[in-house]
């Protein structure tokens, strides 16, 4: 049986640096990882490219995608739709690639329901003050949008305990290494469990091959 890839959900408060962590993983381990590109009804930010950062669609088109069953999961975030196109994720995972989904918590928890083997990672900043300063420094959102995103972070915080692992993004290098190690460990464990179950199954089949007298 071909080895299936792992679905890795990376979530975290807005501005925490999830995108940079993901970019580093893809750059360092291009053979191992694939990135799921989401569809969104949000307008592109400056520098964002169609098909690279997102598939930018209208709200109507997004609803059509929902109706056609083309999305694995979707959520509404600050009045915009965001969703994961199904086909790419499934085919890449079937081909043995680990697929990274950089999505918010509702979507992450839905992925866990659909794929209990997936790995859910949540990235947090060392402090709220640091997060605020990073968001202002990024300069891509207005102060009122930043305020909305921080309020959303307060709501998201309640769901974080349902994630598998919490990662503090203080030092990027340490953080990328930690994420990579967590992924490798999960794969090793999954491989060991798989081998053990296969062995036990064979043993059981052997024992039950003949009916007792």
Of 75 and 168, nearer to ligand 5GP (C-beta) is: 75
Residues forming contacts to ligand 5GP in the complex (CB under 6 A) are 14, 38, 42, 73-75, 77, 82-84, 102-104, 106-107
CB of 71 to ligand 5GP, least distance (A): 8
Strand 98-102: give its sheet, edge to edge: 33-35, 98-102, 7-12, 119-124, 165-168
CA dist., res. 150 & res. 26, Å (int):
28
Task: Please state whether beta strands 119-124 and 98-102 pair in parallel, antiparallel, or not at all (unpaired).
Answer: unpaired
Of 73 and 92, nearer to ligand 5GP (C-beta) is: 73
Of 80 and 95, nearer to ligand 5GP (C-beta) is: 80
Q: Residues 16, 106: contact at Cβ < 8 Å? A: no
Q: Report the residue closest to ligand 5GP, judged by CB.
A: 107
CB of 77 to ligand 5GP, least distance (A): 5
Of 11 and 98, nearer to ligand 5GP (C-beta) is: 11
Q: Residues 18, 123: contact at Cβ < 8 Å? A: yes
DSSP state for residue 172 in the 8-state scheme? H
Which tokens sit at 148? 């909305």
Tokens 């997004």 label which residue? 62
CB of 178 to ligand 5GP, least distance (A): 19
CA dist., res. 188 & res. 184, Å (int):
6
CB of 193 to ligand 5GP, least distance (A): 28
Of 43 and 209, nearer to ligand 5GP (C-beta) is: 43
**Coil, helix or strand at residue 106:** helix
CB of 196 to ligand 5GP, least distance (A): 34
């Amino acid at each position: 049986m071909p080895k299936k890839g792992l679905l890795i959900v990376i979530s975290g408060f807005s501005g925490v640096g999830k995108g940079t962590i993901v970019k580093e993983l893809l750059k360092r381990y291009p053979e191992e990882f694939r990135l799921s590109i989401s569809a969104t009804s949000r307008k592109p930010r400056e520098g964002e490219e169609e098909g690279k950062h997102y598939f930018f669609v209208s709200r109507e088109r997004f609803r059509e995608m929902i109706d056609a069953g083309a999305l694995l999961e979707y959520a509404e975030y600050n009045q915009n739709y965001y969703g994961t196109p199904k086909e790419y994720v499934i085919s890449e995972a079937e081909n043995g690639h680990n697929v990274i989904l950089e999505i918010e918590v509702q979507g992450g928890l839905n992925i866990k329901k659909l794929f209990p083997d997936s790995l859910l990672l949540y990235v947090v900043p060392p402090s709220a003050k640091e997060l605020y300063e990073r968001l202002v420094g990024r300069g891509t959102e207005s102060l009122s949008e930043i305020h909305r995103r921080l309020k959303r972070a307060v709501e998201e915080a309640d769901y974080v305990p349902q994630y598998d692992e919490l990662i503090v993004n203080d030092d990027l290098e340490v953080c990328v290494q930690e994420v990579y190690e967590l992924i490798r460990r999960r794969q090793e464990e999954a491989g060991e469990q798989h081998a053990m179950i296969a062995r036990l199954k064979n043993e059981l089949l052997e024992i039950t091959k003949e009916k007792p007298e």
